Structure 1
């Protein structure tokens, strides 16, 4: 256990500035272009539903399971009071989770804790797998977790660092785009049951306020995360 802990908290050297820049551009391409985004958006959904699930557990709501769908949507099933702070916080956590996870990952990367970050991601995926209640969701988590496990076991430290950098940037950038997409759908009245509209029904504030709040937190996380990731 001592050897394992020493391995987990091992500090890696800072990456070259060009590696950080190229990884940021790669993540920006994944988020900015339609085809790569359609393929990779499911990873943001995993973080989104994980945020709902974690907050449900923190607020002591009964967590019944998570479903991930092939159209990159998802749903977290909880049971408890239909109103109140627990329900509000659970609904609030989804759109904030990818950006806040990205910010936490950026801090670990800035500290050189790449190994700890990757093992933390693997643990997160395993916990999600235990909560999945549909076949497609289980398949996606098994494929993603298998890729992370292969990265840990077979990839050299330099490759792990590059993948971790791209993943951190992807969470920071990818946490913003779904919020913009949400507002576009709300303008066309295609998202009546979105998290923002559920929050509007639970509180006295309009759904647009929550979209703005999501965007504010995600934008601030991206800016501060980029500051932490800045090699200069």
Structure 2
């Protein structure tokens, strides 16, 4: 039947592995992502993607720990807010707060795992599905527009772009999440040291636990750097193989 054949073809396309990317693409996409993270204007624009992942982490942790999620707001200054209801203390609240700053790096690590298996199409479609799910939870106009634009770009690339463009887009995006997940933690501590973020996630965690804010900032850094190292090893697989370093 045409419908079944079409669904089978779509499923095969979704789960099929693409060829290894050229080693030069791995290096160039890493360099491109690093330039975006390290320079002010590109970072100011691209940071919205990190905010989406950050607030998505809060939201997912809230749902998984049984809290009632009221909604997400994304703002044009790249800040965000996730509102949930439940016990004001305890493991659920702590995990919800912890999830934000580590979410971009962990999403990047998951993406690196998929790219390590050359599942480029699967990665792009999973990204679209997650963005659509998050869209249902957003409660302000800028947040809706931000998700629609981001999801639309990913969908267009996954559907219309050539395999080479899809590979470049996917590797750049995952490198960006791995690298971009680290910078906000240092920005957090810099603003905390100036007294500009008294209600930061780290400060709220300090009030809920015996550990000071710097402990939580250090934990965020440690998790994100570990994700970067492991993710980079997964993404660099084609480069290492081509160099003959695996024997």
Q: TM-score, normalised by structure 1?
A: 0.99
* 1:187 equivalenced with 2:199 (yes/no): no
The correspondence of residues 66-105 of structure 1 with structure 2, limited to 5 A, is: 66-105=72-111
Aligned length: 232
Residue 175 (structure 2) aligns with: 169
Structure 2's unaligned 5+ residue stretches are 1-6, 241-247
Structure 1's unaligned 5+ residue stretches are none
Name the CA distance, whole Å, in 2 between partners of 1:145 and 1:33: 24
Deviation at 1:6, TM superposition (A): 1.1
* 1:209 equivalenced with 2:211 (yes/no): no
Residue 35 (structure 1) aligns with: 41
The correspondence of residues 94-173 of structure 1 with structure 2, limited to 5 A, is: 94-173=100-179
* 1:47 equivalenced with 2:53 (yes/no): yes
CA RMSD of aligned residues (A): 0.7
Q: TM-score, normalised by structure 2?
A: 0.93
Deviation at 1:3, TM superposition (A): 2.3
Query: Which of the pair has more CA radius of gyration?
Result: 2
Q: Which runs of 4+ in 1 moved over 6 A?
A: none
1:223 to 192, 204, 229: 229
Deviation at 1:31, TM superposition (A): 0.2
1:190-222 per-position Cα deviation (integer Å, ceiling 9, x unaligned): 111110001001111001000000000000100
Query: SS state of the match for residue 136, structure 2?
Result: helix
Name the CA distance, whole Å, in 2 between partners of 1:152 and 1:92: 32
Residue 200 (structure 1) aligns with: 206
